[in-house]
Amino acid sequence: MPVNTPPLTPDVDSESSSISSSLSSLADVDITPDAPEFFSQLFPKAGFRASVFAKGVVISEVGARFEGFVLDLPKEKGLNNLNLPRTLYVNSKGAENVALRESIVAMLDLADEHLACEALVIALDKSSPNFGGLVHALMYVGGTPVTKPPFEVDPGYVLVGLDI
């Protein structure tokens, strides 16, 4: 299923409103104190030392479920030499099933207002059948490739970041 390039102006319809409101509602977000399995998949060499600074996040909406984590590396422990901000990392799996533009806006709001993050990073699986379409759509809405991640990234993923 192809991902369409988002239009320049937002649509005002009941579907996009419900998607946006469901993602930004805290009732649809589960936060766990432990790093999820996705952390280990994305950063396989980071190890336990780094995983203690990741908190799992699951964002659910009708037809899609996004797994991710909030990574907040302390500057004083020597783990954050790049001075990276508190960041919400989200797995793009399931992105084909939602209105991408509205979901990204809702995730940016969620990351900013409820999770106190300064950035959103979407991890794109290179083996996804619609990888090229997702990259194009994310670049269109202002995403940029993450060239200096905090840890070595699994080569099966590409990270695209959005500042909040």
- pTM across the whole model: 0.77
Distance CA(100)–CA(109), nearest Å, equals 14
| pLDDT: which is higher, 29 or 157 | 157
Q: Could you tell me the residue range of the domain that residue 155 belongs to? A: 28-163
Tens digits of residue pLDDT in 44-80: 988 777 788 888 888 776 566 788 899 988 876 555 5
Within-domain flag for 43? yes
Within-domain flag for 89? yes
Q: Is the pLDDT of residue 82 over 50?
A: yes
Q: In CATH, what number is assigned to the domain containing residue 109?
A: 3.40.630
Q: Count of domains in the chain?
A: 1
Q: Select from 105, 118, 142 the least CA-distant residue to 23.
A: 105
Within-domain flag for 8? no
Within-domain flag for 158? yes
Within-domain flag for 13? no
Within-domain flag for 50? yes
Backbone angles phi, psi at 64, to 5 degrees: -150, 155
Angstrom CA distances, 150 to 36, 45, 72, stand at 17, 11, 10
Within-domain flag for 116? yes
